[in-house]
Amino acid sequence: MLKVFLFVLLSLYLKESESLEKGMEMVTDLEKYSLVFQPCEKGIQMVKFIKESLKNKIGWFSSCHSLAHITICEYLANGNDLSKIKKQVTEILKYENSQYVYFDDYSAFPKNGAFFIAPALKSRQFLKNKMQAITSIDFDTKMFKSTEPHLTVGRKLDQDKLAVAFENFKAIDLDFFCSSIFLRRFNPIKKQYDTIEEFKFGNLPKPPKEEGQLSFDF
């Protein structure tokens, strides 16, 4: 009886250990991703120049080395989650159209010290509509949504550094043809995101919504 009892205890212990290991694997398997709009090469270089110019005036700041982008959302996912999300993104983008977007002003979010390049009114609405469509899919994971499209120059700037930024950067004229979004994965070594995939807009007409059929009782 004692041997049987010890055998049962050992079996339970091994099962619990196996479950714990699987749980740990699921946790460590999670990686951080983001979906973004990305300017053309000319726009990327323009934003890079602005960042470098500001860095020369105020020193290092958050995002000074990051590639120009407009964040749509950030989320954690494992391999299976990522595959599901990519399929949904591909499907929803079939019916999204492409167009030029224009950025014509500098602005800031004073609360978090973000200094950024803001889109013109019509471009802002175009980007917001895309962001809402993409973030409406079922990510089934913890996600941060961006609600205001903007090209970040710097983050976590104090009031003095924001004042320097506004003093030195007054006029901007940046545009690019927005025809896709990009998937990026966080690189913990570089502390930056790496672009890993592009999803093109399909520019297909949206299918008509199904209308309910009327029925009559006679």
- Angle, alpha carbons 48-52-58 (nearest 5°): 140
Q: What is the CATH number of the domain that holds 55?
A: 3.90.1140.10
Which pLDDT does position 210 carry in this prediction? 60
Which pLDDT does position 12 carry in this prediction? 52
Two tokens at 161? 């550094």
Which pLDDT does position 15 carry in this prediction? 57
| DSSP conformation class of 10 | H
4 assigned to some structural domain:
no
CA 96 to mean position of chain CA atoms: 17
103 assigned to some structural domain:
yes
- Residue 84, domain extent: 31-200
16 assigned to some structural domain:
no
25 assigned to some structural domain:
no
pLDDT in tens, 55-96: 999 999 999 999 999 999 999 999 899 999 999 999 999 999
Cα 122 from Cα 134, distance rounded (Å): 19
86 assigned to some structural domain:
yes
HSE-CB for 132 with a 13 A CA cutoff: 7
| Residue ranges in the chain modelled with pLDDT below 50 | 4-8, 10, 17, 19-27, 215-216, 218
Number of domains comprising the chain? 1
Contact criterion met (CB below 8 Å) for 201 and 96? yes
20 assigned to some structural domain:
no
Ordered DSSP codes for 143-162: EEE--S--EEEEBS--HHHH
Which pLDDT does position 208 carry in this prediction? 80
- Angle, alpha carbons 189-59-159 (nearest 5°): 110
Contact criterion met (CB below 8 Å) for 118 and 143? no
Ordered DSSP codes for 163-218: HHHHHH-----EEEEE-EEEEEEEETTTTEEEEEEEEE---PPPPPPPPPPP----
113 assigned to some structural domain:
yes
Q: How far apart are the first and last CA of the chain?
A: 77
51 assigned to some structural domain:
yes
